[in-house]
Amino acid sequence: MPSDRPKVLVTRRQFKDQVERLRAAADTVVLDRPAPATPDELRQAVRGCTAIFAHITDAITGEVMDAAGPQLRVVAEFGVGYDNVDAEAASQRNIAVGNTPGVLTETVADFAFAVIQASARRLAEADRFVRRGDWKWFDPLDLLGQDIDGSTLGIVGYGRIGSAVATRALVSGMNVIYYSRSQPEDGFGCTRVRTLDELLKRSDFVTLHCPLTPQTRGLIGREQLKKMKSTAVLVNTARGPIVDMEALTEALRDGTIAYAGLDVTDPEPIPANHPLLKMDNVTLLPHLASATVGTRHKMSEMTVDNILAVLEGRLPPNCVNAARLNWGR
């Protein structure tokens, strides 16, 4: 017999206590599987749902929303970035889109700065060097890295995470410049530059902290990489498609830039035959920036909060499209 309770789909495995919160209020289906659902599987799974607990691997398109049916009221993204959700299509269908801002700022900033440091000192490369058995003697000119103290860090995107990275860099003795289309002049001890080109030319390290939008897709391509110093390091812990991966591969191979530290790639996971996997001057990580127990649990809790609010007839506490919705206000 069909249930009169709302239905919630959780697209990947999640913390058990948060799933239980959902199950207390709704019929909850968890796709507890090693790989993300295919588009066809996702369209099947969302049928009859009032809420979708979505992850970055899920493309929540208008087609997926229509497959759920007219009772779909919220897509709650497990994360602050929601570029995998068609927010415009959701607004047109009067569906709220929720995310988890703020909670992961410090964790991601810690991680991003750790990648900057690891890239500067070639730690991943040095680890592979030891594991291969190549460390047979002391060579004073082997595996030389770059100094952090006194170098210039260029931050692209000066929101919560970008500015948090800046505080860590300043304490470490770096000169910090930043490029942002929306932030005010006050950079809290940092210098705002007027153009991306200026930032790229001046920086010893460039770290990306802008969201993925149509304007930032492919933001760092061949021409931008050519403007960087040959000794420069590019770090991306934001979204893979912000960087043209083919252009970056060429730049690292040809010595246009010295090094890259990537927590995100395009596509994800990076294909097993990608040439970057055979290159020493790149550190590759599996999208780990927010991956601590405390942060991921709080993200899960906030995602559930967004869903439960809608089931109770309220807007999500963190709703990115509230101004576009007509919920009887």
- Measured CA to CA, the distance from residue 306 to residue 317 in angstroms comes to 6
Which residue among 121, 274, 287, 324 is the active-site one?
287
pLDDT tens track for 114-148: 999 999 999 999 999 999 999 988 889 999 999 99
Which residue among 268, 297, 301, 324 is the active-site one?
268
What's the token pair of residue 108? 């991601």
Q: Which class is 7-101+293-324 in CATH?
A: alpha beta
Query: Domain 105-284 carries which CATH code?
Result: 3.40.50.720
- Measured CA to CA, the distance from residue 152 to residue 8 in angstroms comes to 47
pLDDT tens track for 106-119: 999 999 999 999 99
pLDDT tens track for 308-322: 999 999 999 999 999
User: Which pLDDT belongs to residue 318?
Assistant: 98
Cis peptide bond upstream of 267, omega within 30: yes
Q: Give the E-state strand segments of the chain in sequence order.
A: 7-10, 27-30, 51-54, 74-77, 96-98, 152-156, 175-179, 191-192, 205-208, 233-236, 259-262, 282-284
Domain segments of the chain as ranges: 7-101+293-324, 105-284
- With a cut of 90, say whether residue 14 has pLDDT above it: yes
| Known catalytic residue at 287 | yes
What's the token pair of residue 264? 């995100």
- Measured CA to CA, the distance from residue 288 to residue 279 in angstroms comes to 21
pLDDT tens track for 286-300: 999 999 999 999 999
On average, the pLDDT of the chain sits at 95
| Known catalytic residue at 274 | no
Please state whether beta strands 27-30 and 96-98 pair in parallel, antiparallel, or not at all (unpaired). Answer: unpaired
